[in-house]
Structure 1
């Protein structure tokens, strides 16, 4: 009632020495004092709603559930409000706009007592904008960011009360905004507190830049995020690099084959590699049985899993752990053997390359802008290490595959191919396979991190 009277006085241009309000007559000084007091209260209301928005929408579902489990006061109110995030957002925005507009109306009316109408509008607008920015937005939101948990639990019960008091207005705008959101390209991302994978990756990169994370820690976290999206085909040892033995060999001969190949476990086939029947494991032989000449590999082999090349690595790891498998065979849609995966391959997807004895490192930095690497390296690893952006396609996952795709034919040793700011040179070939690739990056457009 007071607000409407004050606004009406300004709009009609009435100047009074005493203003009648609900049976009382207020002098100009008393009226000004009352208006200033209301403005102070409204500033607090503006800060309340602004900080509420930050606090409520910064909480993730798991944080809310954790607060409920701990029995924290106000946690249930938060969960109730967050069950309908659109209505919560409308409640906060309606409340915030009401107090800000009311504050502007009162201040304009008061200033109008002492200044001309035009000047009063300018002074009031600049003054209220400054006050709201400092004390109704900046300071409250900063506090909410630093005290998200406790402040959300404090404001949630009060927001429920506001929702009941302003129910008709909130309901009207609830449906109006729903309608507008359908016919406009704008979204409602603020209503969701879920953090995307890209957000997490950006936070990890920021952590490295700020010195919170070491480069190796950042790489492990990046690989962990990528782990659930990787497929068996991306991490397998390809068929051409597989060592395998026939099930008809004697155990003694099989042991010699394992020693020569440098592997304690080796796939066993019948007739061809497309019929893998199990895994021969030296470490699981019975030491008490010395008659290896009388035993064939087929009699002592262990069973294995055959998984499609599209198998998710995360699911595969669970199956390998459950079935206690150390090696599985990857097949294509026709049942043809594509490669194999060991537990070490899965582990390397998270921790990086694990080198054994004198095994050559897959990546050798020549200088700040040049690197020599193995052709079977996955493209996303190359992109991550060199900070470049080579494309990944369904037809290829490795850097060698990318070069073949780029050339559209078999390549020769020493050939060079340019892609954007990157030059790729086939450094070493074995028959038609690209064994090593030299990559040179133009330092004027992007950099490399060693």
Structure 2
């Protein structure tokens, strides 16, 4: 075939070659090495062959670059030379009043632009988009040809590598790039992007983020504080203990001598109930198991490992003065990752914070300020000397309010209306986010706006 049709067919061939190599490059780069490793271990021979390319990318990438460059260069060279003559003749025939040399240059420029457009569109963008969507299929189809290309271009690649490495050394740079290690921030961004694209469920995204946050949490962040701990005295009556076990449904309880700051052991509810059923019940002291004490500052991940290795289910958290700050269980630690864990014996607990309407929430006084800040979207000072919503309220007061008091305070851009105080603790409160101009005025006041006793 001669003339214009032959030249068009030749250009189509060059564009298709460029498309094949460009798509192959993206396909191999998009392969999941972890999945390939798994398939190769399961006996998939194709996956094993692909793994060779993925683990040694420099070799096949150099071969592909040579192939892409040659196909593009040859296509442009033949195209500009072949088609420009036809276009120049067309310009002359229609009587454009310019010298033939000028028309020839214009023809060359126009032909180059047209060929470049088709090469970029159909030789680069379209095949790369397809390869990104179906990397496995494309890579498998291209595997054999890639091996041949790598072999054919091996001498040229060796020469190119020598030239490249020599140039890098002259510039004082390394000849091999260091393997990039994904940082925590990189993984968090990947998880966030995957969540936005729907690749992983929101719950799974929260779990992964909680795993990273787990190491930043300390025992005092997850413990049940001492005032909320159900504990028994060594002199506690059996009927009172039984009533508490039935009411709380807990499996383990601290037992103390004089007061809660003198914990002497842990009572397992199962041991206690079996002892009651025996013909000769033992005294409470003989049922106790050794208590496991940890400091407030121990990190959650280390505490989890220690409790797991020592087969501990409950730890007594001790403050810097040696007093009992609270208790933490394995369930408390796990809930920091997977959220609340309920079984059929757990009483249904209210949510610690519930949105009532736009800008207003109802929250428990025990709600941690970090969670409050996340939900309400406000900034809490890092050096604040309180950990809970109740503590935030108390920081605004000069005295502890009596039980049943109703009061309102403004702090950290929030208006907090206390609904219930019991045992000198804030139980429930309404939280309203103040407009920015109002919150700026009241940000540092930390005084009661309104107080009344019922």
- On the 8 A contact 2:393/2:409 being kept in 1, the answer is no
Q: 1:129 aligns with which of 92, 104, 116?
A: 116
Relative to structure 1, the CA distance from residue 398 to residue 263 in structure 2 (aligned partners, 3 Å threshold; closer, same or farther) is: same
Out of 329-338 and 398-407, give the one that drifted further: 398-407
Q: 2:129 aligns with which of 128, 136, 142?
A: 142
Q: 1:45 aligns with which of 3, 6, 17?
A: 17
Relative to structure 1, the CA distance from residue 357 to residue 94 in structure 2 (aligned partners, 3 Å threshold; closer, same or farther) is: same
Cα distance in structure 1, aligned partners of 2:167 and 2:127: 28
Root mean square deviation of aligned Cα: 4.6
- On the 8 A contact 2:250/2:269 being kept in 1, the answer is no
Cα distance in structure 2, aligned partners of 1:51 and 1:406: 63
1:147 Cα deviation from its structure 2 partner: 2.2
Q: 2:316 aligns with which of 316, 329, 334?
A: 329
Partner of 2:278: 289
- On the 8 A contact 1:411/1:432 being kept in 2, the answer is yes
Q: 1:200 aligns with which of 185, 191, 201?
A: 191
1:64 Cα deviation from its structure 2 partner: 1.6
Partner of 2:210: 226
Alignment of 1:31-430 (within 5 A): 36-85=8-57, 89=61, 92-114=64-86, 115=88, 116-164=103-151, 165=153, 166-167=156-157, 168-170=159-161, 172-173=163-164, 196-207=187-198, 218-219=202-203, 221-230=205-214, 231-233=217-219, 234-247=221-234, 249=236, 254-256=241-243, 258=245, 263-270=250-257, 273=260, 276-285=263-272, 286-287=274-275, 288-289=277-278, 291-292=280-281, 295-296=283-284, 298-309=285-296, 313=300, 316-317=303-304, 320=307, 323-331=310-318, 337-353=324-340, 356-357=346-347, 359-378=349-368, 381-382=371-372, 385=375, 388=377, 390=379, 393=382, 398=387, 400=389, 403=392, 413-419=407-413, 423-425=414-416, 427=418
Matched residues, number: 400
1:41 Cα deviation from its structure 2 partner: 3.2
Out of 164-173 and 329-338, give the one that drifted further: 329-338
- On the 8 A contact 1:235/1:345 being kept in 2, the answer is yes
Cα distance in structure 2, aligned partners of 1:374 and 1:104: 72
Q: Secondary structure at the match of 1:77?
A: helix
Relative to structure 1, the CA distance from residue 334 to residue 398 in structure 2 (aligned partners, 3 Å threshold; closer, same or farther) is: closer
Out of 353-362 and 45-54, give the one that drifted further: 353-362
1:398 Cα deviation from its structure 2 partner: 4.9
Unaligned runs of 5+ in 1: 1-28, 445-450
Relative to structure 1, the CA distance from residue 75 to residue 354 in structure 2 (aligned partners, 3 Å threshold; closer, same or farther) is: closer
Cα distance in structure 1, aligned partners of 2:395 and 2:166: 53
- On the 8 A contact 1:267/1:276 being kept in 2, the answer is yes
Q: Secondary structure at the match of 2:197?
A: helix
Deviations 1:286-313 (A, max 9, x none): 2442554x503x3112345444556554
- On the 8 A contact 2:15/2:122 being kept in 1, the answer is yes
Out of 372-381 and 127-136, give the one that drifted further: 372-381
Relative to structure 1, the CA distance from residue 257 to residue 187 in structure 2 (aligned partners, 3 Å threshold; closer, same or farther) is: same
- On the 8 A contact 1:87/1:174 being kept in 2, the answer is no
Cα distance in structure 2, aligned partners of 1:426 and 1:196: 40
Cα distance in structure 2, aligned partners of 1:335 and 1:88: 64
Cα distance in structure 1, aligned partners of 2:231 and 2:328: 13
Alignment of 1:19-38 (within 5 A): 30=2, 36-38=8-10
Cα distance in structure 2, aligned partners of 1:385 and 1:246: 39
Q: TM-score, with normalisation over the residues of structure 2?
A: 0.69
Q: Secondary structure at the match of 1:113?
A: helix
Out of 427-436 and 241-250, give the one that drifted further: 427-436
Cα distance in structure 2, aligned partners of 1:394 and 1:171: 58
